[in-house]
Amino acid sequence: MSDDIVLKVENLRTHFHTKTGIVKAVDGIDFELRRGETLGVVGESGSGKSMTAWSILGMVPKPAGRIETGRILYHGEDLLQKTDDEMRKIRGSGICMVMQDPLTSLNPVLTIKKQLTETLELEFKEKKESLLQRAIALLSSVNIPAPETRVTSYPHEMSGGMRQRVVGAISISRSPDVLIADEPTTSLDVTIQLQYLKLLKDIQEETGVGIIFITHDFGIVAKMCDRVAVMYAGHIIEQAEVTELFDNPLHPYTKALLRSVPDLDDDVEMLPTIEGQPPDLANTPSGCVFRDRCPDPSDDCRDGNVEMGLIEVSPGHWVDQCCINCG
Amino acid sequence: MATIDFEPIKLSYTQRVLKWIKEYNPPWIPIIILSSLLFFGLFANFVTGDPMANDLKARQIAPFTDIHHILGTDMLGKDMTSRLIFGCRSVLLVTAPSIIVAIFIGTAIGLIAGYTGRITDTILMRITDATLGFPSILVAMLLVTFVGTGYIGVIIAVTATTWARFARMIRGEVLSVRERDFVTLAVILGVSPFMIMWRHLFPNVINTLMVMISLMIGQVVLLEASLSFLGLGMSPGEPAWGIMVAEGRQQLLTTWWVSLLPGILITLVVMAFNFFGDWLRDYLDPRMRRSR
């Protein structure tokens, strides 16, 4: 089983040193990703989802951002010990990422052909002609109609959905075994979203790539993911198999999030919301980060005496230890 | 899904050229001016006589008054026509090389400084600022004193004083382009910094570069003229448009054509570059190209 683990993140802390103080964007998270598995990372804006992704890729904005502690093991090798050159070789061929906006992820002045062969060239030392054939094959694998003619178009000549699929094709062109998808469907309309998610699934079945799916849409999580990690203020507060998390959420934050998803069968006037605001990441209080918004915190928790940390309540279901005692 | 195969229409070479011309509508007048500059520069010695031969008996002949000297003669009786035509050659020999070298150095430094950022950026930009801070003519004079007068000296001096403008401009553009998503995507894909600069940043700053080039050509011609005027460039009396403008200045009221004619030519060439640069900028931008 452990051989299957392609990526293992241990106690990762990514902090930003700013004038107003140290912003703890990611503050001690652990998770692992297996071959062919999809891990959903859910959380509101600013909970550290994207920064986790950038940390894995070794692209934390410098000089303010810094990875303070932790290990990111990719096939057992710690990525944080790698030099820039070594990281560049891993990026793209080992770990890759799809970004949010398909409209800006492609270079407006280069044809699709040039942008695809540019990355293919890094992987396969071949002649231009065979690279072009590979590019066409890639485009047809992401369901671009008439790829032989499309390959010579410029990005602005394609629709948003098509561009997103081209970006998908570029991302898998070097057949990475970890693909981070950072809200890849937010800027697409619903029908295209579905197509794109199906495409990702197909790619995964074919190549066995492990996907880290960053989103805040529980519908997508239910459809796409095998396991889910819920992030809040730089911490993972609950992690479980998808069905387990939906059926049996333990953390009050997860419960509240699931309650706030509209349900077509229920006739409710107002969706429940979570009172209050997430804490200021520049000076997070000691103890549980969620205690100010917790509906029923224990006395110890309210006083800030409880340390955060995940414990396994049932096989594969991890939850923050503090909140077992709370509402 | 059923795909329909279209038989591609085969066009002959001439047809393709005509189609291209129809589609992109190149600017004819600037192209004619620039190609005649090239032609006369290359074949000056076949087209016309010796530009240095002076005939003191035929001094200061006004244009269109003498059949032997159609464009007149200067104060020493040198034929204006052949001097103007040989002037094309000095544009090719001095202006073109110096501006090309300046573009190359300036763009490279601008790209490196803008993309790498931090300490490299600081060092390169302070050097650039220092170069811009000195009056260019002073730097040029200093350099010419070191490397000596003549073609090579002028080329080095002009390059040394113009690259900084390109570097500053390109760096500014790169700063905005490098924040765009496709650059981030290239980094994610493991593309090397050199390839990012060459494939992703450079094509996106060409527009600015084109505008800069057409603006700088005029300045370079004038800088060369000033150097020659100070006796530091090509030796006085040689057929270069800048020198001719400078020579004619003292007698502007009597022999106005000595300054005016090369002046007109400089204007024409600079404007031709301007218009051609405009067209090239649109042509190189695929969005502008297809929407025509």
Q: Which of A129, A203, A206, A126 is CA-nearest to residue A171?
A: A203
Say if residues B203 and B183 touch (Cβ distance below 8 Å).
Answer: no
For A150, the token pair is 């499309």
Highest mean pLDDT among A57-61, A286-290, B61-65, B104-108: B104-108
Nearest CB to A88 within list B180, B192, B284: B192
B161: in domain: yes
The C-alpha atoms of residue A200 and residue A38 are separated, in whole angstroms, by 10
Residue B56 at interface with chain A, using a CB cutoff of 8 Å: no
B138: in domain: yes
Q: What is the DSSP string of A139-158?
A: HHHTT-SSHHHHTT--GGGS
Q: Report the chain B residue with the minimal C-alpha distance to residue A154.
A: B286
Contact B182 A105 (CB under 8 A): yes
The C-alpha atoms of residue A258 and residue B56 are separated, in whole angstroms, by 100
Q: Report the chain B residue with the minimal C-alpha distance to residue A140.
A: B1
Nearest CB to B286 within list A96, A109, A173: A109
Distance of CA A200 to the CA centre of its chain: 14
Q: Which residue has the tokens 């003619």?
A: A149
CA distances from residue B25 to A72, A327, B279 in whole angstroms, order as listed: 56, 73, 9
Structure confidence at residue B292 (pLDDT) = 44
Residue B168 at interface with chain A, using a CB cutoff of 8 Å: no
The C-alpha atoms of residue B166 and residue B143 are separated, in whole angstroms, by 20
Say if residues B285 and B37 touch (Cβ distance below 8 Å).
Answer: no
The reported pTM is 0.78
B160: in domain: yes
B190 neighbourhood in chain A, CB within 8 Å: 88-93, 119, 122, 174
Contact B185 A91 (CB under 8 A): no
Lowest mean pLDDT among B110-119, B144-153, B230-239, B254-263: B230-239
- Return the higher-pLDDT residue of A186 and B194: B194
Domain residue limits at B222:
29-40+69-286
Omega before A262 within 30 of 0, i.e. cis: no
Q: Which of A177, A308, A245, A273 is CA-nearest to residue A41?
A: A245
Say if residues A223 and A197 touch (Cβ distance below 8 Å).
Answer: yes
Distance of CA B169 to the CA centre of its chain: 16
Nearest CB to B203 within list A110, A118, A171: A110
Structure confidence at residue A28 (pLDDT) = 85
Average pLDDT over residues B2-9: 62
Question: Which of A100, A104, A105 would you mutate first to test chain B, the one with the most B CBs within 10 A?
Answer: A105
* The total number of structural domains that make up chain B: 1
Residue B191 at interface with chain A, using a CB cutoff of 8 Å: yes
Structure confidence at residue B105 (pLDDT) = 93
Structure confidence at residue B239 (pLDDT) = 82
CA dihedral B86, B89, B94, B100 (to 10 degrees): 150
Average pLDDT over residues A180-198: 82
A89 neighbourhood in chain B, CB within 8 Å: 190
Smallest Cα distance from B286 to chain A, Å: 6
Question: Kind and range of the H or E element at A274?
Answer: none
B247: in domain: yes
Nearest CB to A57 within list B180, B188, B285: B188
Question: Which of A56, A86, A107, A122 would you mutate first to test chain B, the one with the most B CBs within 10 A?
Answer: A107
Question: Which of A93, A109, A158, A179 would you mutate first to test chain B, the one with the most B CBs within 10 A?
Answer: A109
CA distances from residue B220 to A282, B260, B267 in whole angstroms, order as listed: 54, 18, 13
Structure confidence at residue A327 (pLDDT) = 52
Angle ∠(B19,B20,B26) on CA atoms, nearest 5 = 125
Say if residues A104 and B181 touch (Cβ distance below 8 Å).
Answer: yes
- Return the higher-pLDDT residue of B282 and A50: A50
Lowest mean pLDDT among A274-283, B16-25, B204-213: A274-283
Contact A107 B188 (CB under 8 A): no
Smallest Cα distance from B202 to chain A, Å: 10
A119 neighbourhood in chain B, CB within 8 Å: 189-191
B203 neighbourhood in chain A, CB within 8 Å: 107, 109-110
Q: Which of B59, B95, B98, B94 is CA-nearest to residue B80?
A: B59
- Return the higher-pLDDT residue of A112 and A278: A112
pLDDT category of residue A183 using cuts at 50, 70 and 90: confident
B54: in domain: no
Q: Which residue has the tokens 């074919």?
A: A206
pLDDT digits (tens, 9 = 90+) for A214-264: 988 888 888 889 999 998 888 888 888 888 888 888 888 888 888 887 777
Smallest Cα distance from B196 to chain A, Å: 10
Question: Kind and range of the H or E element at A71?
Answer: strand A65-74
Mean pLDDT estimate for chain A: 84
B2 neighbourhood in chain A, CB within 8 Å: none
Kindly tell me if the per-residue pLDDT of B107 is higher than 90. yes
Structure confidence at residue B8 (pLDDT) = 63
Structure confidence at residue A292 (pLDDT) = 76
Q: Which residue has the tokens 């035509």?
A: B85
Question: Which of B1, B9, B188 would you mutate first to test chain A, the one with the most A CBs within 10 A?
Answer: B188
Q: Report the chain A residue with the minimal C-alpha distance to residue B177.
A: A107
B172: in domain: yes
Say if residues B211 and B277 touch (Cβ distance below 8 Å).
Answer: yes
Q: Which residue has the tokens 């959903």?
A: A40
Q: Which residues of A163-202 are buried (b: 16+ CB within 10 A; e: fewer)?
A: bbbbbbbbbbbbbbbbbbbbbbbebbeeebbeebbebbee
Contact A91 B182 (CB under 8 A): no
Smallest Cα distance from A17 to chain B, Å: 17
Q: Which of B55, B114, B106 is CA-nearest to residue B80?
A: B55
Structure confidence at residue A1 (pLDDT) = 43
For A89, the token pair is 């070789």
B240: in domain: yes
The C-alpha atoms of residue B236 and residue B232 are separated, in whole angstroms, by 9
A92 neighbourhood in chain B, CB within 8 Å: 188-191
Say if residues A12 and A26 touch (Cβ distance below 8 Å).
Answer: yes
CA distances from residue A262 to A41, A218, A259, A271, A274 in whole angstroms, order as listed: 20, 10, 8, 7, 14
Tell me, what amino acid is at B271?
A: M
- Chains A, B: CB contacts within 8 A come to 82
pLDDT above 90 covers a percentage of chain B that reads 13
A109 neighbourhood in chain B, CB within 8 Å: 203-204, 284-286
pLDDT category of residue B288 using cuts at 50, 70 and 90: low
B185 neighbourhood in chain A, CB within 8 Å: 99, 105-106, 167, 170
Q: Report the chain A residue with the minimal C-alpha distance to residue B3.
A: A146
Identify the three-state secondary structure at position A10: strand
Kindly tell me if the per-residue pLDDT of B26 is higher than 90. no
Identify the three-state secondary structure at position B252: coil
Question: Which of B1, B115, B189, B206 would you mutate first to test chain A, the one with the most A CBs within 10 A?
Answer: B189
Smallest Cα distance from B205 to chain A, Å: 10
Mean pLDDT estimate for chain B: 83
Q: ipTM value, please give it.
A: 0.82
CB atoms within 10 A of CB B54: 17
Lowest mean pLDDT among A2-11, B208-217, B221-230: B221-230
Lowest mean pLDDT among B77-81, B154-158, B222-226: B222-226
Lowest mean pLDDT among A19-33, A268-282, B91-105, B176-190: A268-282
- CATH code for position B126: 1.10.3720.10
Q: Report the chain A residue with the minimal C-alpha distance to residue B195.
A: A118
Structure confidence at residue B17 (pLDDT) = 86
Nearest CB to A109 within list B192, B195, B285: B285
pLDDT category of residue B141 using cuts at 50, 70 and 90: confident
Nearest CB to A91 within list B3, B188, B204: B188
Residue B1 at interface with chain A, using a CB cutoff of 8 Å: yes
Say if residues A24 and A13 touch (Cβ distance below 8 Å).
Answer: yes
The C-alpha atoms of residue B114 and residue B118 are separated, in whole angstroms, by 9
Structure confidence at residue A177 (pLDDT) = 87
Kindly tell me if the per-residue pLDDT of B290 is higher than 60. no
B192: in domain: yes
